Amino acid sequence: MVTAEPVSHTALVRRARRINRELALLYPDAHCELDFKSPLELLVATILSAQTTDKRVNMVTPTLFARYPTAADYAAADRDELEKIIQSTGFYHAKANSLMGLGQALCERYGGEVPPRLKDLVTLPGVGRKTANVVLGNAFGVPGLTVDTNFGRLARRFGWTTSLDPEKVEAEVATLIPRKEWTILSHRLIWHGRRVCHSRRPACGACALARLCPSFGEGPTDPVVAAKLVKPGPFS
């Protein structure tokens, strides 16, 4: 077991890369659990995924994508109809506002296309850094760290950061992990957070990272107790 003593940056980098390699072995097929076929579809699905599960979003998007195939369709959407389709994802008034505003902004400023740059994406309605990085990493192949609640919690448990601010977490993890690994690392952390390293009771006694993790013991260490906490997935 690794202690929680302060470690040098070099040691932190070495341990972070070992954790990333272990996660790669654990989750060889880690991927974005939202269904999409284009940057626009992924952008819309990511906006809808706020405060709900990817599984729930994937139940809604086949109908949504068929009804609104282009940015112009969202711009011209009938609000009641749009809200009805996305209602089960929660916060549907705000999400409808974002999708209609997104469609208008894409048509007015980007010829109806999703721009492939972070600085442009974050100017769009409903799009913060996390959503922008999801789209860059998964629809455009531009490496991005997508700091959601799972990512942030695990990064803190691994001692990669102490910050609760997603932007600071992103900046600190970026110094530990090679850029080309950023998107896949994000998926691996999210997968491990959903399956094993839960917020309330992490399954430490059943965790393959136990010997590398300075937070081992934050959850039950008994293997039998811990095994019952593991959620096998899939979550999509």
Cβ within 8 Å of residue 211, ≥6 positions away: 1, 2
Question: Which residue from 15, 95, 130, 157 is in contact with ligand SF4, where contact means CB under 6 A?
Answer: 157
Give the number of residues in contact with ligand SF4, rule: CB under 6 A: 14
Of 46, 49, 133, 215, the one binding ligand SF4 (CB under 6 A) is 215
Q: Which residues inside 184-213 make contact with ligand SF4, applying CB under 6 A?
A: 196-197, 202-204, 207, 209-210, 213
* 222 carries an active-site annotation: no
Question: Which residue, 42 or 226, is less far from ligand SF4 as judged by CB?
Answer: 226
Contacts of 121 (CB under 8 A, 6+ apart): 43, 114, 115, 127, 131, 132, 135, 136
Among 73, 120, 148, 218, binds ligand SF4 (CB under 6 A): 218
**CA trace torsion 48, 130, 235, 154 (10° rounding):** -150
Residue 51: name the closest of 80, 93, 100 by CA: 93
Q: What is the pattern of x (binds ligand SF4, CB under 6 A) and - over residues 102-141?
A: ----------------------------------------
Active-site residue numbers?
A: 130, 148
